[in-house]
Amino acid sequence: MIVTKKHAKLITRIATKWEEGLELEKAADSLTDADLESLYHLELAGLVYEEEDKFVLSQAGWLIAEALDEFVGSAGPIDDWDDDFRWIGSEVISMIEVVRAAQGSAADQETIARELDRRGFMRDGTLLPTAESVLEAYNIAEPDVFLPKSLCEKIRKVPPGPGRKGLLPLSAEEIFQLEAMRLLTFSLPMGNNYSLTGAGQQIRAGLLTGAAPTVPITAELLFYLLEEELSDEASEGLMAIGAINDELELLPAGVHFQTAAELLFLASIPINPAVDFGEVDLLTLETIEQLWKRHSANPDLIPSYDTIRREVERKRDGLAAWDVAYSLHLLESFRLIDSERIEPGGLVYRLTEWGGKVLADRREHGMKPVFSTGVMAITTTRMENLSPDDGWVETAVEQGLVGNGYPTKSGRLFARLAGEMERLPLISAFEGKVLGALPLWRGMFEDKLLSLFPSAERERVLAAVRKLIAHGLVDALPGRLYSVTEAGEKFKRGISPVPDEMKFYVTPHILRLLVTMVEVIEREGRTDWREIERSTRFDPVLFNEVRTQASRAHFIRGDKLTTAGELLVEGVEILREHKTDWEEIEV
């Protein structure tokens, strides 16, 4: 959705004519070519529709007209606006959504507050009803898609993002068109970075994987891809855009077009998955691989916890006593390693297929860490109207995940891992305190969260937030707003009875125990500890340790899960759905 000075003047003209019992007419009102181009943008955005050369506001358009009238009444005439002033744009919609998630307050985000205030959407750091009207208009509008051959050729050349606005090989009019169709979005608050939306990326991918449309790609044609049976007219149209073959089978381009249609017409991707690991985590991963290679020559050398810890501490000075334990839990929570019991020798750790891919990739990049904020610079672009925070893009570039407006091979790898893995979160004592500081029912801006901890712990707090985001327990929106997810709510409540002295509130091992208990009890009707131990694949010593930890944390009592333990299992179930239905793009 886009409303600049020229769009606002036309919306006002249509509203004024309607109130006079008239309609804006192409001939009678002497509409210029520039007027018609701007009206076309409003049509694509779903704010205006045309009937017999007459232009009428849609329901969404009337909401915008009312908000505009209120703004003009307090701020002065539209003629006084700068020509390039974006009263509404994708970055403005994002700002409104972010502040709404903070229960309408931007007191802790001065830049966003200033930008919304100058548009009449906020006063004294509080969101006004006009902002709610604009967001309602955005939500009920039915944007159109119309991509003629000339615009398709331009889309082929657009780096998918995220990237600096200057990388866009598009004219101002083409940018307005794509933004109105919700195929292009800009970062808040100033629109410095752009991204093709999820639908925009999929359409671009379709065009680059063989589609050579002989007719415009339209919303109607894309919608046909969601139907079970195709009429002759639909089949001809889909063949004309390169979506299906003569046998009515989806071609590679059609798969991408179909995914775009799902994102446009069914449901946008609501989650923003990520992963996060640092240098010690990668060193631990590498050490496990090296120990297995040495094991072939020395069978007595196995990657047990003690062996891994000694090796990592030998390579890296100054580690805390529990750093390696933390890394092992973290790697297992992201499914980069797996633990299993072998005889003799007890519990050992192995790299998973994903672990091998991650290690190989990071070796190519000097074992640089990967932050959840950098990964979100890629995954956020798949959501409908959000472009990543500028700081996230900078992190992604530094860590080799994004370059020149394209996700790199590394970036695609970590985005795919984030979207596909099943999570078993790790929560350290400090991370538990950070999770506890975030409200259950509203978002909190970063500066406010940091103010709750000593200034000396700033970096530690930010690292904890990154980990909680990667585990799917906290969501981050551009503008650095953090909120507890549905799964995070379960974990936040579940860890509340854990004693402060425990170094780890929740580990993948504890969660494996709790989930296995539920499965065995459901299957056998009782708590069979021998079967639970066998199913967890823990050695007897570790099993007893984990069972003791779960009891100390008040997750189990006797042979039963407590309410806290049940909440954690419910959270794990939610995280199993924490995956994205995304057709991977390699171009």
Residue 579 in this model has a pLDDT that exceeds 70: no
pLDDT for res 587: 62
pLDDT of residue 136: 97
Residue 197 backbone dihedrals phi, psi, to 5 degrees: -70, 175
Neighbour tally for 278: CB within 10 Å: 18
Task: Single out the residue of 173, 141, 177 nearest to residue 46, CA to CA.
Answer: 141
Going by DSSP bridges, is the β-strand pair 444-445/481-484 parallel, antiparallel, or unpaired?
Answer: antiparallel
Q: Provide the pLDDT confidence category of residue 210 given band limits of 50, 70 and 90.
A: confident
Q: Which pLDDT score, from 0 to 100, does residue 345 have?
A: 60
Secondary structure letter of residue 249 according to DSSP: P
Highest average pLDDT, of 209-218, 285-294, 376-385, comes from 285-294
**Contact present, 504 and 427 (Cβ < 8 Å):** yes
Residue with tokens 């082929």: 156
Helix (H, G, I), strand (E, B) or coil at 86: strand
Question: Cα–Cα distance between 29 and 35 in angstroms, integer?
Answer: 11
- Chain centroid, CA 58 distance in Å: 31
Contact partners, residue 460, CB within 8 Å, separation at least 6: 430
Q: Report residue 585's pLDDT band, with 50, 70 and 90 as the boundaries.
A: confident
Per-residue pLDDT at 351 exceeds 90: yes
Q: Hey, what are 509's tokens?
A: 């091992």
Class of the CATH-defined domain 3-140: mainly alpha
pLDDT of 581 > 70? The answer is no
| Dihedral pair phi/psi, residue 18, rounded to 5° | -60, -45
Token pair of 478, please?
């551009």
User: How big is the chain by its Cα radius of gyration, in Å?
Assistant: 27
Global pTM value: 0.92
Question: What is the H or E stretch that residue 462 is in?
Answer: helix 458-470
Look-up of token digits 């092992």:
328
Listed in sequence order, the residues at least 6 apart from 284 whose beta carbon sits closer than 8 Å to its beta carbon are 308, 312, 324, 327, 328, 331
Provide, rounded to the nearest whole percent, the portion of the chain with pLDDT above 70. Answer: 98
Residue 340 in this model has a pLDDT that exceeds 90: no
Taking residue 564's Cβ as centre, other Cβ atoms within 10 Å add up to 22
CA–CA dist 106, 110 (Å, integer): 7
pLDDT in tens, 248-282: 999 999 999 999 999 999 877 777 889 999 999 99
Give the model's confidence band at 116: pLDDT under 50 very low, under 70 low, under 90 confident, else very high: very high
* Amino acid sitting at position 257: F
| Domain 427-576 listed as CATH 1.10.460 | yes
Q: What value does the mean pLDDT of the chain take?
A: 93
Across residues 155-182, what is the average pLDDT?
95
Residues 6 or more apart whose CB falls under 8 angstroms from that of 485 comprise 472, 473, 474, 475
What CA–CA distance (Å, rounded) separates 83 from 72? 16
Cα 323 to Cα 331: distance, rounded to the nearest angstrom: 12
Fold agreement between 279-364 and 427-576: no
Nearest residue to 542 (alpha-carbon basis) of 204, 305, 209: 305
Find out whether 263 and 198 touch, Cβ atoms under 8 Å.
yes
Closest CA to 179 of 213, 204, 134, 145: 145
Evaluate the omega torsion of the peptide bond into residue 162 and state whether it is cis, within 30 degrees of 0: yes
| Beta-sheet pairing, 346-351 with 337-342 | antiparallel
Q: What pLDDT shows up at residue 583?
A: 66
Structural domain spans, the chain: 3-140, 147-266, 279-364, 427-576
pLDDT, average across residues 76-85: 93
Q: Which two tokens mark 482? A: 């953090």
| Averaged pLDDT, 213-234 | 94
For the chain, the straight-line distance linking the first and the last C-alpha, in angstroms and rounded, comes to: 27
Q: What is the pLDDT of residue 97?
A: 93
Q: Distance between CA 328 and CA 537 in Å, rounded?
A: 16
d(CA 403, CA 412): 12
Whole-angstrom distance, CA of residue 121 vs CA of residue 130: 6
The CATH number assigned to the domain with range 279-364 reads 1.10.10.10
User: Nearest CA to 130 among 71, 73, 56?
Assistant: 71
Pairing of strands 122-123, 126-127: antiparallel
pLDDT, position 28: 83
Confidence band (pLDDT; 50, 70, 90) for 146?
A: very high
For 190, the token pair is 């100033």
Q: Which tokens belong to 263?
A: 């994102």
Q: How far apart are CA 238 and CA 122, in angstroms?
A: 45
**477 contact partners, CB below 8 Å, separation of at least 6:** 94, 97, 98, 101, 386, 443, 483
Confidence of residue 344 (pLDDT cuts 50, 70, 90): low
CA distance 410 to 408: 5
Residues pairing with 83 in the sheet: none
Report how far Cα 225 is from the mean position of its chain's Cα atoms: 25
289-331 pLDDT, tens digit each? 999 999 989 988 899 999 999 999 999 988 887 899 999 999 9
Cα(41)–Cα(466) distance, integer angstroms: 39
Q: Which residues contact 45 (CB under 8 A, 6 or more apart)?
A: 1, 2, 141, 143, 180, 181
